[in-house]
Amino acid sequence: MNYNEMKVLLVDDDPDFIEQQKALLNAIGFQVVCASGETEAARILNTFKPDLAVLDLMMEKMDGGFVLAYQIKKMYPETPIIMTTAVTNITGMEFDATTKEERSWIKADVILPKPVRFEQLKGEINRLFSRS
């Protein structure tokens, strides 16, 4: 699939993750705008409409990714959101968006556990855009 001219908002507090994923997303054609946390991302969203958002769950606040996903869906309901998280490794808690109740408060379309392999991320991106 050709993603030329499509814009991604990539938000994570890990600069290595940002650098690696940005390079790989650029390589498949995306224009990538990066933020290091939910506060910076919220400012960016005032002037930027992403075609896709890739968000970390835990950033400035433990639930920062959930809050940011909610804000994005409120502003741009059609924007797919992929949430990445190491929360299961850290806390043992698992998040998913498979039940109706979970989907009511988890606004991510996909949740991927870290570490995220790019092939896995790319596969989810292809799946999300093949539905539209």
Is 99 among the domain residues? no
Question: What does the alpha-carbon distance between residue 74 and residue 66 come to, in Å, rounded to a whole number?
Answer: 12
Note whether 111 and 124 are within 8 A (CB): no
Q: Provide the terminal-to-terminal Cα distance of the chain, rounded to the nearest Å.
A: 13
Is 36 among the domain residues? yes
Cβ-proximal residues to 34 (8 Å cutoff; 6+ apart), any chain: 9, 10, 11, 18, 22
132 residues of the chain, pLDDT tens digit each: 779 989 999 999 999 999 999 999 999 999 999 999 999 999 999 999 999 999 998 877 777 788 999 999 999 999 999 999 885 555 455 655 555 655 555 678 998 988 999 999 999 999 999 965
Pull the structure tokens for residue 121: 């991320």
Q: How many domains does the chain have?
A: 1
Is 123 among the domain residues? no
pTM of the model: 0.86
**CATH number, domain containing residue 33:** 3.40.50.2300
In angstroms, the Cα distances linking 119 to 1, 96, 124, 126 are 14, 20, 9, 10
Q: What is the pLDDT of residue 86?
A: 80
Region of residue 5 (phi > 0: left; psi between -120 and 50: alpha; otherwise: beta): left
Q: How far is CA 94 from the centre of its chain?
A: 17
Is 100 among the domain residues? no
- Residue 8's domain comprises 1-91
